[in-house]
Structure 1
């Protein structure tokens, strides 16, 4: 049985970031959008019923209409969600829940009527408008479900909703999971089943395997796997945590198969994979709405900063060309999200363009640094072109700083938690830099502290945390004695 430390993840330097061209969209986002669409359908039905009914028969109060419609919309979103009407299987098979949608809306409508009766305000509402609202809302709810279905089945959207899952363990439990996902009709693709490297093999004879854990670590990069389900025996607690620790440096959610409960899973958060409820052991920070918020933040700020710094770009470019021969920009390969290789853009600050397996880190009074380059490096202005990397989706405004490949591989071998930085995109500024850990690292302990701050950022990310770091960057992140 191999020890956990004997299995290491090795990234392929030849793989570029373009290999990961698509990414999964959480069905939670689809459910939230469908919820909002249903609420809007109830409101729209109430307003249109008011407009047409009262324009034909009598005058009515918009205040009463909006109050009842808003209450109906609120109750619909709450009750529909509680009854599981936004589960993936019910969004893709809407025809199976038409009856449940109609019955639930009828129950909500009767509840509103009852509330009005008990509050002795039912007499102020028009019965004709109420019936028109009920009928039109029912039609709108059916139409909304068809529209959502059409959207998620559209060729431009459907591929992004496929949930690519890997299973670790090739036992009977794994076979049952594979059979369930295969027969469920849900948008779940089993990328492969991988053998458990830590225990005596108990391979199910009818279950083909994709390889072992080393193969899984490589496939997470190449096959865009986003969920790993551990179908291991209930007495394998130590092995489950060992596998989880090895997967912690990759941007995947790690979950337990639903009947592995002896790991004290009662304290774990649970999420559904399709219709299967799974305790979550490990989850990347940018899933669902967090990912959308982070992406919007990066793109909007990158555009704003590029416009603001455009004159400075021009001045710096001219200064670089006047002082020394060579290009304005220096392109260096670095590890990005999920260990992918990206081309990081910087203003050229040296007379040499080092980018290979052996890179000498810049030091104080380094003769390779030009006069303009020294000013740029001390003020961190050499990093400004990385705003273009942000626009390309390769980097974030805030995140762990990317290191040259040679340095990356050296520190990954020295510091066990180093590679966990790659579960998010690298950033132009970061929490470590704000706290003084940037530039030359004279000993491993300095890099360990830098990693500690990077992981704190990843584990505690929020939009407000990013804003705080951005606001502090001009005062604590730009000029530092370690920047050479």
Structure 2
């Protein structure tokens, strides 16, 4: 593989989007190929319904999570959780469509057990190959950073973390002296900008990262003029006045390059895929849990006077006010300009309400919200309108979480941030996880969150 040296370098030095796509395609491709292999092993024809299943797998798993660079038991657990979620969806679809009768059940069991093992091995093998080829001297990419500042330090740490993949961080260039910049002791300052071109030629620098603020535009233009005569690749890492960049991307709009800073991940095909998965899963789940919904509704009605369904005004996509449905768990229905969050031992919570809150059964009516299109199964949890007005003034980038529809469950909730947020610090941490979800969304991540949520329904110490 990659016997030709130039071919190997071209592969390793391909744009990040190419290597990311390869990693994202790995797990769905493995799932489909193992399905084909199981058909061959059991002498079953691969046609019709089997081909439809393979296509469904690619839709559910692609774009997958890039697990290259990770190893060990943790990766195996994540793969197993994601795969369990996929199997759950496949089984629901097969049950609802009566399609399971077309398959050899022993073959399906073998496919279900073998696929995550092969996926784990493929991730480990891919990681090993990337590291082997990146270790070759002609595959190394020495890099320097222009601008010894906060964003520059972050870029340096990123490059250091990618050393196993060919990146060698050499140091910073800045016109300020060491005593005038805030650099950790382990990050070297190599010299002024005047010495940069000569250093690039002498040290064989392949990548130059410019992290100067936008207020330094004249300096950036002068730098670009001087560096265009070198062979190094130039990268601009914008520090856009402290804005937390979400789904940053370069687009062409009528011939004008436009850089997206705060952009929803659910545009175009991603938006259609997200909505389709929400609708299909919500219909199947509602059909399966309809007896449970009836039992919970009766329990709420008998436990205390008041309506079965509590409707609360919360903030949804793009800051629009929506009505979120929940089984009523309290004796009061706070829905005004001031909303008191539930606390542990809250006297307003009924005994039956405590049970359905602890098991998240009170959230089940929100699958109707998903069908209506006001919510998604996975996304940042919607907050009461009164809380939004409070926290948007206290937490930076708080409203950016509303670039997507709110969810029944989310990345923050499966990372221990469910329940009461009685301090600004707790809410800020929840927002950090919400923004991380927006930056890294994939169908695979959604499935992982769903799987972890199912586990937490029975063993979450934060639920009350």
TM-score range for the pair, normalised by the shorter chain length:
0.3 to 0.5
* Greater C-alpha Rg: 1
Q: TM-score, normalised to structure 2's length?
A: 0.47
Q: TM-score, normalised to structure 1's length?
A: 0.45
